[in-house]
Amino acid sequence: MSRLARKPIQLGKAEVTVSGGTLTVKGPKATLIRQLHPAVTITVDGKEATVAPRDRSREARALTGTFVAHLKNMVQGVETPYVKKLILEGVGYRFELKGRQLSMQVGFSHPVVLDIPEGITASLEKNVLALESSNKDALGQFAANVRRVKEPEPYLGKGIRYEDEVVRRKQGKKAV
């Protein structure tokens, strides 16, 4: 069993309910819902929740730690939203918000347009895109999808990178 699952999870301001195979975490900022795997049980006692495997199978023991992490992320997300910042570097590269769509000019012959998923708010400040959401999974996936459009290249550093990401630069051709 996971070492994380041995300690109960402190819920703070969040309200956790488990019914019919769904886990619901309700807090001051948002409400998050996730399907429970049948190999895992979650019990709530006041302001603490514990995750335990239903049986001694390998799958149940592995999923216990996974659901502890999911529950902790959900509890933290409904209290204070997660934020990811993406920085765009390159001459002529730019972000543009059009309602629930993100349009990017990143050196292609056409703008790349991505729909912003529900629950994620985007704000733009020059070449920095700030994404905010209570759902850590959805936020991380959308940020990865945006970054995948034009990953930073090692020679000039052009592309989309995370705020805390360090791009290892390579030396270019040497003149003889």
- Residues 33-48 have a mean pLDDT of 93
CATH classification at residue 119: 3.90.930.12
33 shares its domain with 67: yes
The last residue of one of the domains, among 79, 103, 130, is 79
Q: Which of 24, 52, 79 is the endpoint of a domain?
A: 79
The pLDDT-based confidence of 150 (bands split at 50, 70, 90) is very high
Residues 73 and 103 in one domain: no
- pLDDT tens track for 7-39: 999 998 899 999 989 999 999 989 999 999 999
Stretch 141-147: mean pLDDT, rounded? 97
One DSSP character per residue, the chain reads: --SGGGSPEE-TT-EEEEETTEEEEE-SS-EEEEEPPTTEEEEEETTEEEEEESSS-HHHHHHHHHHHHHHHHHHHHHHS-EEEEEEEESTT-EEEEETTEEEEESSSSS-EEEEPPTT-EEEEETTEEEEEES-HHHHHHHHHHHHHHSPPPTTT--EEEETT--PPP---PPP-
Percentage of the chain beyond pLDDT 70 is: 98
Question: Does residue 120 lie in a domain region?
Answer: yes
Whole-prediction pTM = 0.90
Across 35-53, average pLDDT: 93
